[in-house]
Structure 1
Amino acid sequence: MRRRSSSRIPAALLLPGLLGLLFLVFPLVGLLVRAPWRALPGELSSGQVWEALRLSLECATAATAVSLLLGVPLAWLLARAEFPGRRLVRALVTLPLVLPPVVGGVALLLVLGRNGIVGRWLDSAFGFTLPFTTPGVVVAEAFVAMPFLVISVEGALRAADPRFEDAAATLGASRWTAFRRVTLPMIAPGVAAGAVLAWARALGEFGATITFAGNFPGTTQTMPLAVYLALQNDPEAAIALSLVLLAVSVAVLVGLRGRWMSTP
């Protein structure tokens, strides 16, 4: 009987693997070790902390809603529709995943800023400006978070059998009805996973937010921005805020464990 090849770990892989694990885990352990546990309730009880947390949760939820509204149809087009340049469109959709967030914030300013391509028209026609406002935070977070949802939903659509949609169409259902009543229930786990990932990415967004929306307490200062500001003046407060974001990240991983953390 042949032994499993994984029963013996090559020494050349064991040491680098353990070093990689240590590299990823040790900073988190250091955060927990250096956390001011006794002063934690006092650090987290300030009104500014709760204001930043409230703003973060509201903006991340709104950004996820925008991502769902725009990202699910976009994922359907990429997975189901045939059109010239589809590969290019997919590359452009995934570009924010690798684009430095600060560059994304600059790009948003050039388009939606008061003197931007679209922002100039919004300001002159409606007197509406996005930069350095709470809606601007939502826009910045949706820009960096939507690709996570699109990739997840597109993968779920490609895994779903299109014959069910075709069968619904032959029975008289419109394409919209087939999508709403047949396709969407089939891909619901992928949509949920993508929404959670997008929400977590939006909650932790920093670069695009501070570039496009600024860092104004009560208006645009989210939790990551509050951590950055506190690190300069009150390191213990920065650690306390970081623990809150770490707890949220762990909760997201626990919620997605069945989809992303299962082993074959």
Structure 2
Amino acid sequence: MYLADEAWPDLESYFESESLALVPLGSTEQHGPHLPESTDHVIAESLAREAAARSGYLCTPTVNVGISRHHRQFPGTMWVSPDTFRAYVRDLTENLTYHGIDRVVYVNAHGGNVDALREVAKDLHADETCYALEWMWDESIPELVDDLFEHNGPHGGPKETAMLQHLTDLVHDDRLADARDGGVRDIWSAEGTNRHGAATFFDARDNSDNGVFGDQTDATAEKGERLFEAATDQLVRLCDWLAAREPEELLPEPRV
């Protein structure tokens, strides 16, 4: 069920019987020479809407711009500050609680959003506003990701490339070799990324000339379909688990 497509009487019926919502969040940022800047929010919205269609839970419109300042050197990247992002997500979530939602899954597809979403979720839980969880699609299926790709890469790599090949016709397949050769296959072994236990980089441009990591030539639409199906299954299972919890199970533990 997609909130923006429904009339208010139908939404009223949903809120009378269910109290869970999926909120997709991504980014609008560079993903190398081969992927669109919509990559993260396309993945997040596609997973959230598919999980909602399969389960009957509510999916909200997507937050398309996130915390992406570390990609700012590449043309077109958009970003907001962490403070702005946290405040916006909190307000959006409290909007849902006004209608009766008390449990939320942040369907996230951008690593830069993770810390802020978890912080918002902690605050919402601490003041008993609602129970929210940050869910990152690739972290739900790590074994499959590792099995499918030898050089995965945390950004613009084959897992995101394969997902976009499956979901859209926006991938520049003729640029996959250029993306691999102009980027870095393994960021964690790249020279200058770590000194004596400290990460010594701040921006994607510090480590990769074209902003991406991994071997993009290893991606196929068939692999993307396997990723999408497996991640959707995990998301539906998470929603079912959360919906089945009694309200008192979702409250903070009492003070010692």
| TM-score bin (small chain) | under 0.3
Which structure has the higher relative contact order (CA within 8 Å, separation 6+)? 1
The structure number with the bigger radius of gyration is 1
Task: Return the structure number with greater strand share.
Answer: 2
**TM-score computed with the length of structure 1 as normaliser:** 0.24
Given the two structures, how large is their TM-score scaled by the length of structure 2? 0.25
> Comparing both structures, which one devotes a greater share of its residues to helix?
1
